[in-house]
A = this chain, B = another copy of it.
Amino acid sequence: MRRLDNIDLRLLRVFVVLADEGGFHDAQIALNLSQSTLSTHLAALERKLGGQLCERGRSGFRLTPFGEATLAAARRLFDDIEGFHARIGQDRHRLVGRLRIGILDGVVTNPHLGLQTALSRYMAYAADVFVDLVLGTPQELEQALLDGERDVVIGAFSQKVPGIAYIPLHREPQALYCGRGHKLFERPAREIGQADIEAALFSVRGYRHFDDLYRVNHPRASASIVQMEAQVMLILSGHFIGYLPRHIGEDWVRRGQMRVIRPESYGFESAHFVATRRLKGERPLIDAFVRELRAVAGVGEAAAAGLGASLAPSGRGVG
């Protein structure tokens, strides 16, 4: 007896994702495989099944009738496999599926959140969960939640969107910084007045535009950034003042490249939440991940030592 498995589940799953994504481009991203690998897999499946599953190429991606039938049959088969797991009790402790996470830029490295630790612990028992991670602004992330494009998002939110449940994780101090070459850099704190602030070029975070202006009573912004790294650059240029999370700014302060401006006046805290859409029923993948996030946020300091790397392994990091 040679072949004991006369079916290749991997190829079928690739096909389902291809069909769901409507083509190679999005499926590459979803599966994190190269276009050539997808092409090879699809061709292999067609040979095994003995028929063309889809038309594809410059003219677009379309399922053939055979492809439609196979897609439906494959979905059913995956349901049957779930049934198999249920019958032997696997589903009690096995998490499978896709978890789509959105994280506010500038938050990934936050030691108090310990995102990497939480994810590591989650994957230890959820090895079959596909984690899809993007960075974005609070508005983008909340919208993605509402649209069902994201399952769980993490960041500093205003906590005001209906239909979204916010679970507090951590409060993060924010501070106003200027760079080394800025005229306020060497000035003693008590000699920095409101006029100096208003006269300085102010770089706001695009998603916190009016909040930032209002908080320091500034007349207008001179720069607007979306990514936290851009904010760091502008401040380091010595021409702008702007807000940074303390966990980012402190490194630069330590190196003598930045200073905090009047923390007692301009400092504040922003609350970080993990947010999910309010849905009825069980969401084991999401709930388990949220549970890990909350646990790690509570452990916070103990986890800090091991942090440093981003979540780049998934190649999602460049939001």
Which residues of A come within 8 Å of B, CB atoms? 1-10, 13-14, 30-33, 49-51, 66, 69-70, 72-74, 76-77, 80-81, 83-85, 87-90, 92-94, 96, 127-130, 280
Partner of A7, one of B66, B76, B81: B81
Contact present for B9 and A5 (CB under 8 Å): yes
Instruction: Give the docked Cα–Cα distance between A77 and B130 (Å).
Output: 24
Find the B residue at minimum CB distance from A49.
B88
* Given A73-B88, A84-B73, A87-B69, residue A14 in contact with residue B9 (CB < 8 A): no
The answer to whether B87 touches A72 (Cβ under 8 A) is yes
Asked if B76 and A88 sit within 8 Å, CB to CB, the answer is no
- How far apart sit A130 and B10, CA to CA, in the bound complex (Å)? 24
Give Cα A218 to B41, complex, Å.
67
Q: How far is the CA of A87 from the CA of B30 in the complex (A)?
A: 27
Give chain B nearest CB distance to A12 CB in angstroms.
Answer: 8
A7 contacts which chain B residues (CB < 8 A)?
9, 81, 84-85
Contact, CB under 8 Å: A10 / B4: yes
Please give, as numbers and ranges, the residues of chain B lying within 8 Å of A94 by CB-CB distance: 6
Choice from B13, B51, B84 contacting A4 with Cβ under 8 Å: B13
Residues in B with CB closer than 8 Å to A87 are 69, 72-73, 76
Output the nearest chain B residue to A80 by Cβ-Cβ distance: B80
Are B14 and A90 within 8 A (Cβ)? no
Q: Is the Cβ of A3 less than 8 Å from the Cβ of B49? A: no
Q: Say which residue of B4, B49, B51 sits within 8 Å of A9 (CB atoms).
A: B4
A21 to chain B, nearest CB (A): 12
A-B contact pairs, 5 of them (CB 8 A): A5-B13, A7-B84, A50-B90, A73-B88, A77-B80
- Note all chain B residues with C-beta closer than 8 A to A6: 81, 94, 96, 128
- Give min CB distance, A30 to chain B, whole Å: 7
The 4 nearest A-B residue pairs measured at CB = A80-B80, A5-B9, A73-B87, A4-B13
Inter-chain contact A50/B9, CB cutoff 8 Å: no
- Give the complex CA separation of A87 and B75 in angstroms: 12
Q: How many angstroms between the C-alpha atoms of A111 and B120 in the bound complex? A: 55
CB distance from A121 to the nearest CB of B (A): 16
